[in-house]
Chains A and B, each alone.
Chain A
Amino acid sequence: MDVLTEAFAWLNDPLNWTGRKGVLALTAEHLRLSGAAVLLAAAVALPLGIWLGHRRRGGVATVVAANTSRALPTFALLTIFASTGLFGSTATILAVAVFAVPPILTNTFTGLMEVDGDIRDAARGVGMSGGRSLAVVALPLALPLIGAGLRTATTQVLATVPLAALVGGTSLGTIIVQGMALQRYGQVVAGAILVAALCLIIEGILAALQYALTPAPMRTRAARTRRRRPARNPSSEPAEAPS
């Protein structure tokens, strides 16, 4: 039978959607792992990025983080974490979170660094303390970039979590990996379609969310960062690696 027909037959079988290893359960697990990884990464990267950006130093650290994360294979880190005794979802969340840190960190840092010097001077001039100027002036101005960083990180995490299926994690990738093992290519194609669809849908939702949450006057700026400029000098660009 044609593989595509097989794939659609697989997708049309209600038994594949329900149950403990059904598509719905796997999607929920996929989203749970991704959410946990993004939250963990944000919990580390946001305070660090804000602190570094506020002190206006640490550019080298963020660049090193971004570059290493691009060269270090996600699969390697997943394998390493999965073989240290942390099993299943904990290992997956940790490994994936490591790769979500650089985009959030670099964007937060860049966002704060790009705040106009005159604006910061004005904040000082009206008597704001450093902390207050950060909270009510710099952070709101940096929000579009910080949001773009969170979005990049989320997309990347969603695309990385399927890989965990290779080393024993549970996610939508499980369908693909299982299909490969059983040489059921219809199931493989169906799984690939599901994984790709999930990523594209969430990416679309995040794009809409980002647009809605950005105040109208700042939309051009957000749009600029969303369509990430390729690097002239790769070492100065936020990390965004396909995974």
Chain B
Amino acid sequence: MPSNLPATIHTRPPLTDRGSDPLAGVSVSARDGSVFAVTRALSTGEAVLDTATFTAASSDPAANPWLSWDYVKHNWSDIARALEQHTTLTVQAVLIACVIAVPLGMLAHLRPRLAAPIVGTTGVLYTIPSLALFTVLVPWTGIGRTSVLIGLVVYALLVLVRNVLVGLAGVDESVRDAGRGLGYGRIRLLLTVELPNALPAIIAGIRLATVTTVALVTVGVVVGYGGLGQLMFRGFRNNKYHAEILTATLLCLALALVLDLLLWGVGRAVTPWARRGREA
């Protein structure tokens, strides 16, 4: 069975402590499941990577540091590709989720009878593990981007809908009264009074959804499309290549931080009144 697995195409030179076991890399690959998916997603560039890591590691075959600038230098194009995949997937998922969640939240706000079922359904969906949600779609959407994207949108949706709903419900009753007193209709009140007032809560929801989505993308490895998770998983299969795993992890954290800060800035920019109110 392992003979038809293309998993050993790129293996790091075995570490000394595992060198006695020539099947070390193979056994790991054969046991883990998504070998097909992963090898499919990893494309060219592997050969180059291997020579590079080989020369880097051959000077000291036992070294397997957690942090290695050499690794970053030699595999930059690879890392950049994973990072780009990770970022685009996150941004796309959150944007799609926003487009769906804001109208859905407004609908639930206008029709309070719909609020309980919507929030309840979102809660139940939220309980479903990502491994199950990503893979259950595979027979219909295929291995790759679409399956991961749908799963991510579902999870982000849940966070967003709740926040939109709570944001709209939390609008000061006297503000709403003032709007009604000016003769605003229900829709106009919603769009020009309630929605801007709910903006801070909505932005907070978007930030939360973005950070969790960045973390969740890594689970996409199960369908061969996990962005930086792809690097972690490959590092694990390649005789536990520590530098590859930790670099990807740190990049994940950095990406979450950068996106969070960006959204914080956007939030500040679009709600100038909140800032002024706090300073006054």
Contact = CB atoms under 8 A, between A and B. Distances in A.
Given A83-B235, A180-B37, A199-B127, A73 B132 contact: no
A47 B17 CA distance: 40
Given A73-B252, A159-B127, A83 B245 contact: yes
B215 A73 contact: yes
A163 B166 contact: no
A77 B246 CA distance: 9
Interface residues of B, number: 64
B159 A230 contact: yes
Contacts of A241: 212, 215-216
A77 to B, nearest CB: 8
Contacts of B138: 180, 185, 188
Nearest to B245: A79
B218 A73 contact: yes
Most chain A CB neighbours (cut-off 10 Å) among B32, B136, B139 = B136
B136 A193 contact: yes
B4 to A, nearest CB: 12
Contacts of A196: 127-129, 132-133, 136
Contacts of A174: 33
B229 A73 contact: yes
Interface stretch (B49-57, B75-83, B219-227): B219-227
Contact of B155 (A165, A173, A242): A242
A192 B242 CA distance: 30
A183 B233 CA distance: 19
A174 B257 CA distance: 32
Main secondary structure of the interface of B (DSSP, over half): helix
A15 interface: no
Given A83-B245, A243-B129, A188 B136 contact: yes
A109 to B, nearest CB: 20
Contact of B34 (A82, A180, A185): A180
B193 interface: no
A200 B127 contact: yes
Contact of B208 (A82, A168, A195, A230): A230
A160 B131 CA distance: 9
A216 interface: no
B71 interface: no
A135 B214 CA distance: 41
A230 B163 contact: yes
Contacts of A168: 28, 31-32
A191 interface: yes
Interface in B132-182: 132-133, 135-136, 138-140, 155, 158-159, 162-163, 166
Nearest to A183: B36
Nearest to B30: A181
A12 interface: no
Interface stretch (A48-56, A121-129, A141-149, A231-239): A231-239
A80 B223 contact: no
Contacts of B131: 162-163, 165-166, 173, 176-177, 192, 195
B96 interface: no
Most chain B CB neighbours (cut-off 10 Å) among A74, A185, A195, A242 = A242
Contacts of B208: 70, 230-231, 234, 237
A72 B33 contact: no
B113 to A, nearest CB: 17
A70 B249 contact: no
Contacts of A167: 32, 233, 236
A188 B143 CA distance: 12
B135 A79 contact: no
Given A200-B127, A203-B127, A230-B204, A72 B249 contact: yes
Given A79-B233, A230-B159, A241-B215, A192 B133 contact: yes
Interface in A180-206: 180-181, 183, 185, 188-189, 191-193, 195-196, 199-200, 203
A155 interface: yes
10 contacts: A72-B253, A75-B218, A75-B233, A163-B219, A166-B32, A176-B222, A188-B139, A196-B136, A199-B127, A243-B130
7 shortest interchain CB distances as A-B pairs: A177-B33, A83-B240, A192-B132, A159-B129, A192-B136, A71-B256, A3-B139
